Amino acid sequence: MARAVFALCMLVALAACASRPSAPPAAAVPSPQATYLACQQGLNSTGAMFEAMLPMKTREGCGFSEGIKITATPSPLNQPAVLACPTALALSRFDLDVVQPAAMQHFGKRVAKIHHVGGYNCRGIAGTRKWSQHSYGNAIDVIGFDLADGTRILVSRDWRARGARANFLHDVARGACQVFRVVLTPAYDKAHHDHFHLDTGPDRLCGI
């Protein structure tokens, strides 16, 4: 008897399920997890070296849900950078599509290392009440490049110089604006006299 009641209940449940109006298709919006995996596949396809990170959130609201610790873009970085995955992917595209072609054009050599001084960093923008895009892993500060022969090119020293090094840096900054949403250079303000701030945040600014 119990089994018959159970079977009846199952039939009623199935009927209820079948008669429910079907939900509209929701395939257009991929889940955050699918987006994260697609981003990691994109990074793999560039030859980048990286590790996925667990989501992170601080009391102040800093952090990220799709973090990456990247060590090569595929050019080796001077130190690992913690970035949101889309920013890590932008940095890899920047390396492949902007930095390397500019180095070949100006020096006939590849860039062998990219120097940066920070990706994720929970802090405000100096002189404002806004949180920096570094607070969400959306920004990285690049200070220079080593060519394959060991020649070092520094934003602080070479941006305002003449010749191939300055031309290279200006071309790289111009190209960065095609990859990142915000690019700040020594031409933008004194706070950026020694680095390129590259970010994928919501603003749009090519400060070159």
Q: Does 180 bind Zn ion (CB under 5 A)?
A: no
- Min. distance of Cβ 141 from Zn ion in angstroms? 4
Output the CA torsion sign for 133, 134, 137, 142. positive
* Residue nearest Zn ion, Cβ-based: 197
Q: How far apart are the C-alpha atoms of 174 and 194, rounded to whole Å?
A: 16
Per rule CB under 5 A, is residue 115 in the interface with Zn ion? Answer: no
Q: Decide: is 141 part of the binding site for Zn ion (CB under 5 A).
A: yes
Alpha helices in 27-154 (DSSP H): 32-46, 85-94, 100-107
Smallest gap from residue 118 Cβ to Zn ion (A): 7
**Measured from the CB of residue 196, what is the shortest distance to Zn ion in angstroms?**
8
- Nearer to Zn ion (CB atom), residue 26 or residue 126: 126
What is d(CA 6, CA 9) in angstroms, rounded to the nearest whole number? 5
Least Å from the CB of residue 62 to Zn ion = 14
Pick the piece of the chain touching Zn ion (CB under 5 A) from 21-29, 35-43, 95-103, 136-144.
136-144
Shortest Cβ distance from residue 188 to Zn ion (Å)?
Answer: 11
Q: Which helix (H) or strand (E) holds 196?
A: strand 196-199
Q: Is 197 in the site for Zn ion (CB under 5 A)?
A: yes
Farthest CA pair distance, the chain: 93
Sequence-ordered list of residues with C-beta below 8 angstroms from that of 156, at least 6 positions apart, any chain: 143, 144, 193, 194, 195
User: Does 95 help bind Zn ion (rule: CB under 5 A)?
Assistant: no
The nearer residue to Zn ion, 140 or 147, going by C-beta atoms, is 140
Task: Supply the angle between the helices 164-179 and 100-107 in degrees, to the nearest 10.
Answer: 160
The site for Zn ion (CB under 5 A) is made up of 139, 141, 197
